[in-house]
């Protein structure tokens, strides 16, 4: 799998977090850069939660300097999710059991195998750090995740395929570059269509939990702005940010 043109790469044996490293190096970068951390000592997920990351699992961050407005930049969570899906399919030879969970998780046989964390660096007009964690060889115990959340799984346990972090990075970098080119060239529409075709629980009742309230309804679609659309008994809800529970 060829490394994509124009993308830098650096590997770190130990790092506090690859997103934190992205913040330290962003100002000195001349183009997009992948950071692979073989061991993280302070990994984190969405909303500042700890990310359990055993040795042999995958932790990386892609640092970009996007030129779009923040609402468009945020759509790269969908770009990244599709790239992960593509990479898993390339590495295992099948898409069986793979699905995408709004807003930024990848599922395998119903369990969470990968998560995505987008963070801005340097304020408006600055860099974007796309943090990615994949349970390649081991998954956290269910007791280590939020109550009611999708149970974590590992690629190895679910497929029998053992993938090194370095091999995962090669496949993901190649897949991401292709999806990024599509996004920049054609906009969100084809990304949205591809994401919807791989979405988990379309047409089913799910719950979106926000800081001050939660909404339960039928998952209809993701709209042109990336919002989750739920049809409840009373109204059609448009949700920009939430944690989703099945």
3-state secondary structure of 187: coil
The SS3 assignment for 36 reads strand
Task: Kindly write down the DSSP assignment for every residue of 85-107, as one continuous string.
Answer: HHHHHHHHS--TTEEEETTTEEE
**pLDDT tens digits for the chain (246 residues)?**
789 999 999 999 999 999 999 999 999 999 999 999 999 887 665 555 555 677 899 999 999 999 999 999 999 999 999 999 999 999 999 999 999 999 999 999 999 999 999 999 988 789 999 999 999 999 987 766 676 789 999 999 999 999 999 999 999 999 999 999 999 999 999 999 999 999 999 999 999 999 999 999 999 999 999 999 999 999 999 999 999 999
* 129 within a domain of the structure (yes/no): yes
Domain-located, residue 79 = yes
CA dist., res. 106 & res. 195, Å (int): 11
Assigned domain for 3 exists? no
- Per-residue model confidence (pLDDT) at position 81: 98
Q: Which residues pair with 130 in a beta bridge?
A: 62, 118
What is the number of structural domains in the chain?
A: 2
Judgement on whether residues 56 and 171 belong to the same structural domain of the protein: yes
Last residue of one domain, picked from the residues 197, 214, 236? 197
Which residues does 35 contact at the CB level (< 8 Å), separation at least 6? 10, 12, 15, 18, 21, 22, 25, 60, 61, 62, 63
**Together in a domain, 173 and 236:** no
The answer to whether residues 182 and 210 belong to one domain is no
238 and 126 fall within a common domain: no
CB 212 within 8 A of CB 243: no
Whether 37 and 73 map to the same domain: the answer is: yes
pLDDT of residue 1: 75
pLDDT score of 143? 65
CATH number at residue 67: 3.30.930.10
Question: What is the model's pLDDT at position 123?
Answer: 81
Sign of torsion over alpha carbons 154, 160, 162, 168: negative
Same domain for 115 and 237?
Answer: no
Same domain for 174 and 65: yes
What CA–CA distance (Å, rounded) separates 15 from 79? Answer: 26
Residues 144 and 32 in one domain: yes
Q: Which pLDDT score is estimated for 169?
A: 98
The values of phi and psi at residue 168, to 5°, are -60, -45
In a domain, 1, yes or no: no
Domain housing 237: 205-245
Please tell me the predicted confidence (pLDDT) of residue 141: 77
Same domain? For 141 and 120 the reply is: yes
**pLDDT at position 59, please?**
96
Tell whether 185 and 211 lie within a shared domain: no
Q: What is this structure's pTM? A: 0.94
**Under a CB-based contact definition with an 8 Å cutoff, are residues 123 and 131 in contact?**
no
Strands 205-209 and 127-134: unpaired
Residues 91 and 107 in one domain: yes
């Amino acid at each position: 799998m060829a490394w994509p043109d124009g993308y830098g790469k650096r590997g770190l044996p130990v790092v506090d977090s690859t997103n934190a490293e992205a913040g330290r190096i962003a100002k000195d970068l001349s183009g997009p850069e992948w950071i692979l951390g073989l061991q993280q000592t302070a990994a984190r997920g969405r909303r500042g939660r700890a990310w359990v990351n055993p040795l042999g699992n995958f932790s990386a961050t892609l640092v970009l300097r996007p030129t779009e407005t923040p609402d468009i930049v945020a759509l790269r969570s969908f770009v990244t999710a599709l790239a992960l899906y593509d990479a898993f399919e390339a590495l295992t030879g099948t898409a069986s059991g793979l699905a995408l969970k709004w807003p930024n998780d990848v599922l395998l046989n119903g369990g969470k195998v990968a998560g995505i964390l987008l963070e801005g660096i340097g304020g408006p007009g600055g860099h974007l750090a796309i943090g990615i964690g994949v349970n390649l060889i081991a998954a956290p115990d269910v007791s280590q995740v939020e109550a009611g959340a999708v149970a974590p799984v590992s690629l190895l346990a679910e497929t029998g395929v053992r993938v090194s972090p370095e091999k995962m990075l090669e496949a993901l970098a190649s897949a991401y570059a292709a999806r990024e080119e599509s996004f920049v060239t054609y906009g969100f529409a084809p990304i949205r269509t591809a994401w919807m075709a791989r979405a988990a629980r379309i047409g089913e009742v799910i719950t979106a939990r926000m800081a001050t309230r939660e909404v339960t309804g039928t998952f209809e679609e993701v709209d042109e702005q990336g919002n989750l659309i739920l049809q409840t008994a009373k109204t059609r809800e448009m949700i920009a940010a939430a944690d989703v529970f099945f």
